[in-house]
Each structure stands twice: as structure tokens, then as C-alpha cells.
Chain A
Amino acid sequence: MLRRALIVALFGAVALAALPGPAPAADRFITVASTTSTEDSGLFRYLLPLFTAKSGIEVRVVSKGTGQAIDMARRGDADVLLVHHKPSEEKFVAEGYGVKRLPVMYNDFVVVGPKGDPAAVRGMKDVSKALARIAGAKAPFVSRGDDSGTHKAEQALWKAAGIDPAAAPGGWYKALGQGMGATLNAAAAMDAYTVADRGTWLSFKNRAALDVVVEGDQRLFNQYGVILANPQKFPHTKAAEGQAFIDWLVSADGQKAIADFKINGDRLFFPNANEPGA
């Protein structure tokens, strides 16, 4: 008797768990494909509730590297794309997958390295020269290696220095294929250099002996752009809600919200939707 009751109770519990939960309050939602830097830094956790409170539209962010986010948008799995590699974004629009690219905000990349600084690059103003010095010293360097905006920026810097790090002998250059946080974890554990976006770096909690060694070079500028998926190519796109989100991001309210996001008093992202040519 008891046994039977207990078994029925167990199955009942499992069946209850299997029922779909209560219908979400906001049945209006959009899917945004974005980067790990916007998610890991905590920007979305801060920003999105502000937009939802105003519009009633829930924003569901799937965060991957820029390359993966663009691929996801190409398949029609996102309503809005928010990434940070202008050439890729413009290509996305030119190929008809997106409606229009708008600038939203910027920050910068930094080179972080071990406090011991074996390649002696601390304080250098020319980032490509600093990378050349790291290559020359064969100091350990970890790369995102995942086709993300940060990875593409890093590759451009090596190219400007005339170095192909993947082909360099000595095994000092390691391509991980991971997000920014995971790459920073690896750099911390290996006492290696890496290129990071300042947003993720400022909110990263496992720094070990890492610190910023090179910053301020113009080429470290990191611009974020937002694009609506093309409803003509993807008829199921939630174009109205997606456009509402984009409009808010570039509006005075959205731009102020981005500027207000700080960690320990440091601003992580700088709004620049109104900057021509951004």
C-alpha cells in the first residue's frame, strides 16, 4: 500500500516536472545574437531589464564569439545581431542578411600579461611592436582562436607587425578556440600574454598575476555595431520588436544607460551611436 503510494508520488512528481512551466509574463520576446564580451562583462544583465521595463519586450541573448553570432544570424536564428567587427558586419548587410548596421558603443582592447613581463612590453605605445617583441622573446601568448571580433582584431595586429604567430616555432603561441573569459583563465594559469577587450577584463575575477601591459594604441579601438535581421530573407523575424530594441539602444535613453554601466567606478562601454563613420 505504502509502496504503491510512494511510487505513484514519485511518478507524479516527475510528471509535474515535465509539464511546461507557467506561461512567461512577456510573451513578446526577441532573440539577440551577441558576443561573450557584452555578456561576460555584465552589460546585458544591467541593460536589458531597463529596455524590458519600458517596452514590455523580453530580450533573450545568446552569447557566442562574433563569428559564431554572425553564423547564427545567417541561419535566421536571431532577430538582432550585436557584435564588434565592422568589416564582417558590413559584409553581413551587403549580402542581404541584415537591414542596416548602426554603431552603438565602443571600448578598447588591451594587452594583458604576467606581472613579471618577460617580453618587457609594459608601457609600450605601439601595440604591433609590442607583439613583435613578445614573438621575439617567444613569451607565452594565448589567443581566442575562435573567429570572434577580439580574435580578428588580434590577427590584424599580428599582420601589422608582419608576423604569422601560428607558424612561429617554439610553441609559445596557443590558439584556444574559447571565449574571452576562458582565454583569460588560461592566460592567468599559464602566465601568458593575451589580447582582451576592456569590458571583460574589468569584470574578470580570476586575474592571478595578470595586469594590463599595453593600452591606448589607436589600433586597439573596439567598435560595436547592431543590425536587424532582414525580414525579407527571414520572414519569421520579429522585425518590429527587434527594431524597437535597436531604436532604444541608439536613443538618448539607451546611450545614457550604456554610459551609466560601471564596475568599481570604471566605465566599460562608451556610447557613440551619433558619431558619424563609427
Chain B
Amino acid sequence: MHEFTDAFATALRLIGTLDPDLVEIVGLSLRVSLSAVLAAALIGLPLGAALAAFRFPGRRVVVVALNAMMGLPPVVVGLVIYLLLSRSGPLGTLGLLFTPTAMIIAQAVLITPIVAALTRQTVEDLLVEYDDLLRVLGTGPLATIATLLAEARISLATTVLAGFGRASAEVGAVMIVGGNIDHVTRVMTTAIALETSKGDLPLALGLGLILIVLSLAVNAAVSLIRDAAHRAYV
């Protein structure tokens, strides 16, 4: 059980001394996951809203498929993207393998379905209230999506946070497409996997603690913004 106290002490030491390796790894983790979340939000939010608002043949199949894709195994996504980006793969000439960009792509693929599926559900619930009003006003399709997303923005914040949580916690995809290269593609989760592999369990646990604190900080920041938003309303 001494591993837990050692881990706590290690985490405090790393943070307190602003260990340069730690700062580098945390910076890269945030950059990769936040970029992936941004991409996922740009695609997933309008996609989810459109799916909720419009009727078309095969809609139910798309909804079910999207929901299922929330459970995409990260290691499989990593493998597929590795094969696509590999030099002997179709996108090999881009030279993206083993770069942070590849990691952002992989994480975006993983969390876009989550953002889209949850947005669809949120907006569908909203439509119960807004459907008639939008019809009466004769709102065009783009304006409909924009209006619905704007109205649901506070609930959608949680959706985006769910995406961020999934992205920053996964290790399978970024390990395969990033290669866990020291100073280049090593993020929190792959660093934890490496330290575990070296038998340095207190350090691995310490990094894990820091990752959790990081996630808490991001969520706290969003919550504060939400509170400010609420107060501005009232």
C-alpha cells in the first residue's frame, strides 16, 4: 500500500518543482485532446442537431449506428488509422504517422460519435418545445440547426466535456498512431503505460493522479463559465 503514499508524494514533487518532462507531457496532452474536442465539436454538434431536426429515409439506421459508434474500441481506431497513415497505406505520403496530428485525428474519430449522438438526444428533447415555433416561423435548415444549438448550449457543454474526458483518458489509439516517442508524442496516458512497464508504479500512479486533477480543473473551469452564464441571464 506504500505505492499510494509514494504516488502522492511523487505527484506533489513533480508539480511543485514544475518538472520539465511533466510540463512537456501535460502540454502535449492538453493540446492533443483539446484540438480533438474542437474538431469533434465542429463536426459533431451540427451533425447531431441536424439528425435530430430533419427526417429522411434511413434516419433510424443512422441514429443507431451513431449510438453504437460511441463504443468504438480506441485500440481498433488506432490500428485502422495507423494502417491508413502508414507509408505503405493510402495516406502514407502525408507523413503524418507518429506525429501529434495523427493523435488528434485518432481522438477526433473516437469522440465525434459521442458528441453527435449526445447532441442528437439533447436537441430531440428540445424540439418537443421548439418544433412548432420553428415551423411557424418558417426557419430554414441552417438557421434551425444554429437556433437549436444555441438554445441547448448549456446542456451541450456537458456533452463536449464527456468528449474531452474520453479523449484525455484513452491510451490505445494514441499509443499506436503516436508511438509514444519521447519529447514528440508522449502524453500523460502513454507515459503512465511506459512507467508501469518499467515497474515504476509510484511514478505511474503519481502521473495518474495529476491527470485526474487536470480533468477536474477543466471541468471546474467550464462549470464556472456556466455559472457566470446563468448569473448573466438572471
Please give the residue numbers on chain A whose beta carbons come within 8 Å of chain B beta carbons, in ascending order.
1-3, 6-7, 10, 13-15, 17-18, 20-21, 24, 31, 36, 39-40, 44-45, 60-63, 75-77, 179-182, 184-185, 188, 203-207, 234, 236
Q: List 18 A-B contacts (CB under 8 A).
A: A1-B232, A3-B232, A7-B229, A14-B37, A17-B30, A17-B34, A17-B35, A20-B100, A31-B98, A60-B181, A60-B182, A75-B86, A75-B87, A75-B88, A181-B196, A181-B199, A206-B201, A236-B87
Which of B47-55, B112-120, B132-140, B220-228 interfaces with chain A? B220-228
Quick check: A10 and B221 within 8 Å, CB to CB?
yes
Quick check: A182 and B30 within 8 Å, CB to CB?
no
Q: Which residues of A contact B92 (CB under 8 A)?
A: 76
Known: A3-B232, A15-B38, A76-B88. A205 touches B200 (CB 8 A): yes
A56 to nearest B CB, angstroms? 15
Quick check: B87 and A7 within 8 Å, CB to CB?
no
Which of A2, A60, A184, A204 makes the CB contact (< 8 A) with B184? A60
Which of B182, B198, B232 makes the CB contact (< 8 A) with A2? B232
Quick check: B86 and A36 within 8 Å, CB to CB?
no
B31 within 8 A of A: yes
Quick check: A62 and B197 within 8 Å, CB to CB?
no
CA distance A7 to B38 in the complex (A): 14
Q: Which residues of A contact B181 (CB under 8 A)?
A: 60-62
Q: Which residues of B contact A45 (CB under 8 A)?
A: 182
**Given A17-B34, A75-B88, A206-B201, 7 extra CB contacts under 8 A:** A6-B225, A7-B229, A21-B31, A63-B180, A181-B196, A182-B197, A205-B201
Q: Which one of B88, B197, B221 has the greatest number of beta carbons of chain A within 10 Å?
A: B197
Question: Smallest CB-CB separation from A4: which chain B residue?
Answer: B232
Known: A75-B88, A76-B87. A182 touches B196 (CB 8 A): yes
Q: Which one of B86, B93, B222 has the greatest number of beta carbons of chain A within 10 Å?
A: B86
CA distance A98 to B37 in the complex (A): 40
B200 to nearest A CB, angstroms? 5
Quick check: B232 and A205 within 8 Å, CB to CB?
no
Which of B93, B180, B197 makes the CB contact (< 8 A) with A181? B197
Q: Which one of B98, B179, B196 has the greatest number of beta carbons of chain A within 10 Å?
A: B179
B173 within 8 A of A: no
Quick check: B198 and A40 within 8 Å, CB to CB?
yes
B156 to nearest A CB, angstroms? 12
CA distance A26 to B53 in the complex (A): 50
CA distance A273 to B38 in the complex (A): 50
Known: A6-B225, A31-B98, A62-B179. A184 touches B199 (CB 8 A): yes
CA distance A172 to B225 in the complex (A): 56
Q: Which residues of A contact B228 (CB under 8 A)?
A: 2-3, 6
Q: Which residues of B contact A188 (CB under 8 A)?
A: 199
Binary interface encoding of chain B residues 174-199 relative to chain A, with 1 for a CB under 8 A from any of its CBs, else 0: 00000111101000000000101111
Interface pairs A-B: 7 shortest CB-CB: A181-B197, A206-B199, A76-B87, A62-B179, A3-B232, A205-B199, A18-B35
How many residues of B are in contact with the other chain, CB < 8 A? 38
Quick check: A62 and B180 within 8 Å, CB to CB?
yes
B111 within 8 A of A: no
Quick check: A18 and B31 within 8 Å, CB to CB?
yes
B95 within 8 A of A: yes
B138 to nearest A CB, angstroms? 29
CA distance A129 to B35 in the complex (A): 56
Q: Which residues of A contact B199 (CB under 8 A)?
A: 181, 184-185, 188, 204-207
Q: Which residues of B contact A36 (CB under 8 A)?
A: 197
Which of A3, A15, A205, A236 makes the CB contact (< 8 A) with B229? A3
Q: Which residues of B contact A13 (CB under 8 A)?
A: 34
Question: Smallest CB-CB separation from B178: which chain A residue?
Answer: A62
B80 to nearest A CB, angstroms? 14
Question: Smallest CB-CB separation from A44: which chain B residue?
Answer: B182
B34 to nearest A CB, angstroms? 4
CA distance A20 to B31 in the complex (A): 9
B97 within 8 A of A: yes
A158 to nearest B CB, angstroms? 24
Question: Smallest CB-CB separation from A60: which chain B residue?
Answer: B181
Q: Which residues of A contact B232 (CB under 8 A)?
A: 1-3
Binary interface encoding of chain B residues 189-221 relative to chain A, with 1 for a CB under 8 A from any of its CBs, else 0: 000001011111100000000000000000001
Quick check: B88 and A206 within 8 Å, CB to CB?
no
Q: Which residues of B contact A2 (CB under 8 A)?
A: 228, 232
Quick check: A10 and B225 within 8 Å, CB to CB?
yes
Question: Smallest CB-CB separation from A9: which chain B residue?
Answer: B225
Quick check: A206 and B37 within 8 Å, CB to CB?
no
CA distance A22 to B30 in the complex (A): 15
